[in-house]
Amino acid sequence: MATSKTKKVQSKSTFDYDAIVIGTGPGGEGAAMQLSKAGKRVAVIERHDSVGGGCTHWGTIPSKALRHSVSRLIEYNSNPLFNDSDRSRHLTFREILGHASSVIRTQSRLRGSFYDRNGVKVIHGIASFVDPNTIKVARRDGSIDQITAKQMVIATGSRPYTPKDIDFSHPRIYNSDSILSLKHDPKSIIIYGAGVIGTEYASIFRGMGVKVDLVNMRDRLLSFLDAEISDALSYHLWNNGAVIRHNEAYHSVEGRDDCVILNLQSGKKMRADCLLFANGRTGNTDMLNLESVGVKADSRGQVTVNENYQTEVDNIYAVGDVIGYPSLASAAYNQGRYAAQAMLSGSVPSDLLEDIPTGIYTIPEISSVGKNEQELTAMKVPYEVGRAQFTHLARAQIANTQVGSLKILFHRETKEILGIHCFGERASEIVHIGQAIMHQKGEGNTVEYFVNATFNYPTMAEAYRVAAINGLNRLF
């Protein structure tokens, strides 16, 4: 984050609002709600007909709803209690998307009610800056309004990166937004880009029985993860039939009537019914006319902010995907709240938690918080590892979700918890138990808590006790 601010706000005696928030995704919602509850007059501008942003309509909610439906389909087909026929049940992408669509509608209505209850004015249209205190709103009917505010928040989110040499108008070539409009039932798919979105969709399509080729530009999947967790994901995808191609980059994409051909720079050729291009995202800042107020966006549409989420202009703040890492819906909501607090008091709270949990909704899930083994080794921290395999847990055996494990990293001497890493069903829920203890102050954040605590039996949470005992037994 930047630490300098160069441009000053123009003086103005009266404004239409105390604050204008551009975008109604998690970041915009967090800022708007916090400011409204503090008694400020707030307006939000949303370019689409419904609030919620990309998170609700194209990203987090639909992909996770798809993942949930596919995961239940896998459970059904693998459980002899429910499926004793010779043939597994098959659902098309469109059929499974029906559930996701109902969740999207429910979430959008719910989020809209938040703005109503808190007295936040929702304005639909495309926003652009006139000056640091003035926003032009271009409405769908062609009319244009101008509204003013003392402070501004840019929370416009991001969209899939779409290189110009690929024809995304072709009916068999998709990005991570347009894949939700997939109408045919593919037997094979190439997923280019093995980041979080790519690996999640690889799990979804493979779970539906679609042949998956996952092209990764790096030498391992999700290299920011703990190496063992990354290896577990790679093995699980491979064991389920997905083909992963590491250290590859595309040369060209050919869209044909009956297939897509992906030509790689290594000389390899790949063919599938369709292609999902999931290689990065671009911040939605190109239509904001940022140059008119002196805010600069980089080549990926992202803006730089300081520790208070301020841009180069004192009264203009930015949160969420438009400021880059970690580009998580959960983080964006908090960033919006923190930015609002800075707008109200001049700075964000000093006691913010630094460790942000990561949730990756592959099948099975991955979630982690804190340091991983590679980081602790590089830092020369004397740590120990405690592990619990899900296959040993009664609850996992009952639910037939035995793939996965929990790993606790803790300091050998102080026994302070340094990291929690989980791979398996409900990992994104399980990790929060460790996160809560990890962030306790004093002696309350040691691995011994899990040994002394009584867990309901049978539960997946019991993995913490098993892992803690396993780790403490390694000390000498």
Res 5: pLDDT:
47
Res 231: pLDDT:
96
Distance, in Å, from the CA atom of 60 to the CA atom of 147, rounded to the nearest integer, reads: 31
Which residue from 25, 119, 61, 109 is spatially nearest to 336, judged by alpha carbons?
25
Q: How do residues 31-83 score in pLDDT, each as one tens digit?
A: 999 999 999 999 999 999 889 988 878 888 888 888 998 988 888 887 777 76
HEC string of the chain equals: CCCCCCECCCCCCCCCEEEEEECCCHHHHHHHHHHHHCCCCEEEEECCCCCCHHHHHCCHHHHHHHHHHHHHHHHHHHCCCCCCCCCCCCCCHHHHHHHHHHHHHHHHHHHHHHHHHCCCEEEECEEEEEECCEEEEECCCCCEEEEEEEEEEECCCEEECCCCCCCCCCCCEEECCHHHHCCCCCCEEEEECCCHHHHHHHHHHHHCCCEEEEECCCCCCCCCCCHHHHHHHHHHHHHCCCEEECCCCEEEEEECCCCEEEEECCCCEEEECEEEECCCEEECCCCCCHHHCCCCECCCCCECCCCCCECCECCEEECHHHHCCCCCHHHHHHHHHHHHHHHHHCCCCCCCCCCCCEEECCCCCEEEEECCHHHHHHCCCCEEEEEEEHHHCHHHHHHCCCCEEEEEEEECCCCEEEEEEEEECCHHHHHHHHHHHHCCCHHHHECHHHHHCCCCCCCHHHHHHHHHHHHHCCCC
Res 87: pLDDT:
63
Res 85: pLDDT:
63
Numbered ranges of CATH 3.30.390.30 in the chain: 364-472
CB 246 within 8 A of CB 237: no
**What are the per-10-residue average pLDDT scores of the chain (476 residues)?**
48 83 96 97 94 84 88 82 68 81 87 93 97 96 95 96 96 94 91 96 94 96 95 96 97 97 98 96 95 94 96 97 90 94 88 79 95 97 98 93 95 96 96 94 87 94 97 95
Q: How do residues 312-323 score in pLDDT, each as one tens digit?
A: 999 999 999 999
CATH for the 364-472 domain, from 3.30.30.10, 2.20.28.120, 3.40.1160.10, 3.30.390.30: 3.30.390.30
Length of the chain: 476
Q: How far is CA 213 from CA 243, 244, 311, in A?
A: 5, 6, 41
CB 444 within 8 A of CB 468: no
CB 430 within 8 A of CB 396: no
The CATH architecture one would assign to domain 17-159+282-345 is 3-Layer(bba) Sandwich (3.50)
Distance, in Å, from the CA atom of 155 to the CA atom of 27, rounded to the nearest integer, reads: 6
Domain 173-279: top CATH class: alpha beta
Could you tell me the two tokens for 216? 């990764």
Numbered ranges of CATH 3.50.50.60 in the chain: 17-159+282-345, 173-279
Res 4: pLDDT:
42
Neighbouring-strand partners of residue 192? 215, 277
Say which residues have a Cβ less than 8 Å from residue 438's Cβ, sequence separation at least 6.
Answer: 355, 369, 370, 417, 418, 420, 445
Give the predicted TM-score (pTM) of the model.
0.90
Res 83: pLDDT:
64
